[in-house]
A = this chain, B = another copy of it.
Amino acid sequence: MKLQNGRKIANIQDIARAAGTSIATVSRVLSNADYPVSPLLKEKVLAAAKELNYTPNLLGRMLKSNNNTAIGVVVPNLQNPFFNQVLIGIESEARRRDYELVIYSSHRDPAQERQNIMGMLQKRILGLILFSEDLSSETVEYYVASGGCVALLEANFELETVIRADTDFVEAGRIAARHLIDRGHRRIAFLTSPLTKHSRRKLLEGLKTTCRDMGVPFDEQRDVIVAPSETELDSGLYEFEQGKYLAREFLERRDGHTAIAAVNDITAYGVLQELASQKIAVPEQLSLISFDNLPFSAMLSPALTTVELPSTAMGSTACHLLIDCMEDPDGAVVSRDLVFSYPCRLRVRQSVASI
């Protein structure tokens, strides 16, 4: 109905008229269904379409076929670089398969999340990648019941008929501890935000059990320093400030520690800056390792040794499986193994010394 050089956008009727045929034929050639159409007419239709600058109205098609080649992505926010990494993976896969990405940020607000998912349903966006470490399953169940496919990233609730990706945080913790211990460290501190999240507790568990397994003392009272509270500002800056705070706290209570494991990269950046401002050289006087491997971590001085949590790969695989499910006519794919987990990888750089 919109104007285009004074004319409305051409529709198949216009094409049909111009090509001297019927809308059915036009539809058949333009949606290239494998339906026999005489070469002559085909040619004419194509020519008319080109002539009239035909732009198919996918709303019409979608309304008819009730499917939407878009997938919705709900992340807690866009500021946290980790989610950004996940998005990069999702985007590349979506583009490869010709799906659009509709992005919502929930700000960890269940009401907002619910609204986002309902919005998707209203537009018949039937594929959802949900990053939601601390929300519940109700809305998701409704979405699935309405015919949607979903991929859950790091969710803390169980649900059937759904793709799941989880990171093995215990293993991540183990890897970090092992590296530190291999390099001769015997007193390790874990600096963390409050242990309210599954992921953080698992990290701690990995650290702790590995220390014990390898004969290194680890005492939660002495070796774990927890930041007081957590305002979910999500600006990234908050975790950074928290890292500085934790470093100060650590230095006061330091008790023979030669290495710090920080709960994530941004916290480690804060630790690093605080240490630098107190003229404590990393890794010469104190070693530091953390978890994430944000791209920026390679750019620091010293470059940060960190356990890479698969983010981009997780995003791209989740998207890949999701699209498979969406395109699967009779849910056969669902019988495949839809829970996956990528290994964490140690990225050795310069912030851990051998002692």
Which residues of A are at the interface with B, using a C-beta cutoff of 8 A?
1-5, 9, 53, 55-60, 62-63, 66, 68, 70, 78-79, 81, 84, 87-88, 91, 95, 100-105, 118-119, 121-124, 126, 142, 145-147, 235-237, 240, 266, 269-270, 272-273, 276-277, 295-296, 298-303
Q: 7 extra interchain contacts, Cβ-Cβ under 8 A, other than A55-B146, A95-B105, A266-B299?
A: A55-B118, A57-B122, A78-B91, A79-B88, A236-B295, A269-B300, A276-B301
Q: Give the CA-CA distance A300 to B298 in the complex, in Å.
A: 12
Hey, which chain B residues are within 8 Å of A79, CB to CB?
88, 295
Q: If the complex has contacts A4-B147, A59-B63, A66-B1, are A87 and B91 also in contact, measured as CB distance less than 8 A?
A: no
A100 contact from B55, B57, B123, B276, Cβ within 8 A: B123
What would 10 A/B residue contacts be, using CB atoms closer than 8 Å?
A9-B147, A57-B124, A59-B62, A59-B63, A78-B91, A81-B84, A95-B104, A101-B104, A235-B295, A276-B301
B147 touching A3 by the CB < 8 A rule?
Answer: yes
B296 touching A296 by the CB < 8 A rule?
Answer: yes
Q: What's the nearest-Cβ distance from chain B to residue A9, in Å?
A: 6
A146 touching B295 by the CB < 8 A rule?
Answer: no
Hey, which chain B residues are within 8 Å of A146, CB to CB?
2, 4, 9, 55
Q: Give the CA-CA distance A179 to B273 in the complex, in Å.
A: 24
Copies in the complex: 2
Q: Give the CA-CA distance A1 to B302 in the complex, in Å.
A: 58
Q: If the complex has contacts A276-B301, A299-B270, A301-B272, are A103 and B91 also in contact, measured as CB distance less than 8 A?
A: yes
Hey, which chain B residues are within 8 Å of A84, CB to CB?
78, 81, 84
Nearest B residue to A95 by beta-carbon distance?
B105
Q: What's the nearest-Cβ distance from chain B to residue A198, in Å?
A: 26
Q: What's the nearest-Cβ distance from chain B to residue A247, in Å?
A: 12
A145 contact from B4, B88, B124, Cβ within 8 A: B4
B299 touching A123 by the CB < 8 A rule?
Answer: no
Q: What's the nearest-Cβ distance from chain B to residue A159, in Å?
A: 16
